[in-house]
Amino acid sequence: MQLNIQLSAHFDHIDLALNYQGTLQGIVGIFGHSGSGKSTLLRAIAGLSNNVSGSIYYKQQCLFNSKENIFVKAEQRNIALVFQDSRLFPHLSVLQNLQFSRQRSRTKQLNVDEIIALTQLTPLLDKKPAQLSGGEQQRVALARAILAEPQLLLLDEPLSALDQQNKVALLLLLTKVQKYLKIPMLYVSHSLAELQQVADNLLVLAQGKIIDHGNIHHVIHRLNQQQHSPIHQQTSLSLVISKHDKDHGLTALTLSEKHTLYLPLLSAENYPVGSTLRCFIFADDISITIEAPHQSSIVNHLSGRVSAIQPLNQHSMLVTIVCNEQEFFSQISVWSYKKLNLAEKKQVFIQFKASAIRAFANPNNFIEE
Amino acid sequence: MLTDPDYMALITTLKMASVTTIILLLIGTPMAWYLAKMKSRAKVFFEAIVALPLVLPPTVLGFYLLIAFSPDSFLGQAWQSLTGEALAFSFSAIVIGSVLYSLPFVVQPLQKAFEQLGDHYLEVAATLGAGSLDRFLNVVFPMTKASFITAACLGFAHTIGEFGVVLMIGGNIPDQTRVLSIAIFDHVEAFDYARAHLLSLSLLIGSVLLLAAIYLLNHRQQIKA
């Protein structure tokens, strides 16, 4: 699905100048801090803001072009938006909220009962929105948006009002929905950890401009090395789960044929063997040694070669190490850097604890960046 | 019980109040909507115009309407050529007068309700494919129903209690423009206090009951919310 955007807008605190041309596939994450313009971008795509200029084309169809005075109304765009406050109609029951959307859908191809089952709403259908928890409300909002059968689904910080447990549940649901229905989605968030779980591609906004976009792992790794990086430096990975070792409380991930990484045990129900896990390791959780660590309590160690070294701040350095074609990022002190006499291409070993591999769904070791 | 002319005055009053309320809901709703959504500075000016009948002596409004409705005026002539009847001292005249006079009682509660409702639910309805009329009928109206009932009751009750405007532009024509408030005035002028009491007391009780119903409804709505 081709999306072409050229937007500019002037607000009190920010000048927006967004240009993007690309295909939308799966879930595309839009990352940026508050005030970076990401919500404005979503609202412009949905047709909810009229104080921007420029143009938006989706699938070669013009949604908006200020020069030619074209503005397709929100209700004619067939683009649904899930808001952070679920905005369920308070006078309607859950089922009536879903029907509201269904009745106005142009295609009506989806099986309503199937979507209700998929989003686990069966026991809630007769309730009023005020009787639901935050997580339940967002599930209804998601189901309602899906039932409109949109050509594009926008999500504006859909998890920000939820607790960690509900965030995990909704993210799992979202990936399930995406696999099942294949609706392209644009997912806006200020939490990189959240996007890292669901998005295949990432768009990064800062001060009203798109500063990078592409494969999510590549973009995160490029952001690591940027000056005044907007993120906590980390290694971002998609790895296949090879084993759940209940006896030792560890889950094994395949890095390559010969190399396995371990993290604290995950639920086999949500993360079956063979499925891919999104995880990340903060750079300050990875240490470097020159000699192979033979006797260590630390479970994960790999050998690799230094590919880049750059100062992070006055007292620390960011070292990029390539192990089996996978980049890892380690943050060490300037003192250690001098002591180890590090240089590019030098052969080193990196090590990190099992708990340093963080997955959004693992409450044992998840810390929001 | 009620003598014939008093009964006719009651019917005229109810007819006038009902017609006025229906017209007020029809024109007051879009006015309240535009005022609620208006962002320009002119909003204050329009709000003041709508609120004017709250402070203006009814006789002032009546006086200007009388001039506007006279057969020599543009409005009076246009009405005459359209309907074949004179506008001044007609039932239509007192309805027009009442609409203007009771306007704030309908527009203000609706405007407040629309402002409180905000854009949130309208935005989500639009992204789900609901057009503007659809949004109004299926989102705005059900969510502000209590305010519509309040507005209708206030408009109706206030129109029943009107005196000055009707006296100025209606004259006192039985079965046409003679309403209860004027009938009471007539009885008092004629020292017929018994009949004046009867009509006054009925109006008093009727008004209390109507207002009590509105407040009960609002109270229930607040508990629900």
Residue A286 has pLDDT above 90, yes or no: yes
The answer to whether B123 contacts A90, with C-beta atoms less than 8 Å apart, is: no
Calculate mean pLDDT across residues A286-293: 92
Q: Do A106 and B129 touch (CB under 8 A)?
A: yes
- Select the residue from B39, B117, B128 to test the A interface by mutation, using most A Cβ atoms within 10 A: B128
Using an 8 Å Cβ cutoff, are A235 and A324 in contact?
no
Q: Which residues of B169-191 are buried (b: 16+ CB within 10 A; e: fewer)?
A: bbbbeeebbbbbbbbbebbeeee
HSE-up of A257 (CA within 13 Å, CB side)?
A: 0
Tens digits of per-residue pLDDT, B184-213? 988 998 999 998 998 899 889 988 998 888
Share of chain A above pLDDT 90, in %: 64
- Contact state of B126 with A48 under an 8 Å Cβ cutoff: yes
Using the beta-carbon criterion (under 8 Å), do A78 and B129 form an inter-chain contact? yes
Give the Cα separation of A197 and A344 in Å (integer): 32
More confidently predicted of A149 and A9: A149
Nearest one of A77, A73, A67, A5 to A40, comparing CA atoms: A5
Question: Is B130 in contact with A91 (Cβ distance < 8 A)?
Answer: no
Structural domains present in chain A: 2-224 (3.40.50.300), 234-284+294-354 (2.40.50.100)
Contacts of A75 in chain B (CB under 8 A): 125-132, 134
* pLDDT for B46: 94
CA distances from A269 to A221, A264, A265, A298, A355 (A): 30, 15, 12, 27, 20
Residues of B in contact with A142 (CB under 8 A): none
Radius of gyration of chain A (CA): 23
Distance from CA of B134 to the nearest CA of A (A): 10
| First-to-final CA distance of chain A | 32
> Is residue A303 within 8 Å of A349, Cβ to Cβ?
yes
Given a cut of 80, whether residue A342 has pLDDT beyond it is yes
| Pick from A343, A356, A151: nearest CA to A253 | A356
The structural domains of chain B, ordered by start, are 4-224 (1.10.3720.10)
By C-alpha distance, the chain A residue nearest B120 is A87
Whether the pLDDT of residue B106 is over 90: the answer is yes
**Residue A365 pLDDT greater than 70, yes or no:** no
DSSP assignment of A287-334, as one string? EEESS---S-S--EEEEEEEEEEEE-SSSEEEEEEEETTEEEEEEEEH
Which residues of chain A are at the B interface, by a Cβ-Cβ cutoff of 8 Å? 46-48, 73-81, 83, 85, 87, 89-91, 100-101, 104-106, 144-145, 148
pLDDT digits (tens, 9 = 90+) for A75-104: 999 999 999 999 999 999 999 999 999 999
Which of A49, A72, A87, A96 is the mutation pick for testing B, counting most B CBs within 10 A? A87
Q: Is the pLDDT of residue A366 over 80?
A: no
pLDDT mean over A296-308:
93
Q: What integer pLDDT is reported at residue A364 of this predicted model?
A: 58
pLDDT, mean over chain A = 90
What is the three-class DSSP state of A267? coil
DSSP-derived secondary structure for B7-20: HHHHHHHHHHHHHH
| pLDDT in the model for residue A269 | 86
What's chain B's average pLDDT?
89
- Give the pLDDT band (50/70/90) at residue A368: low
Cβ pair B123:A74 closer than 8 A: yes
- Six token digits for residue A110: 């989806």
Cα A363 to Cα A8, A167, A280, A357, B175, distances in angstroms = 41, 11, 14, 12, 80
pLDDT in tens, A120-165: 999 999 999 999 999 999 999 999 999 999 999 999 999 988 888 8
**Position B213, amino acid:** A
The pLDDT, as a whole number, for residue B99 is 95
Residue A14 or A175, more confident: A175
CA distance A101 to chain B (A): 6
Mean pLDDT of A165-176: 88
DSSP one-letter string for A118-144: HTT-GGGTTS-GGGS-HHHHHHHHHHH
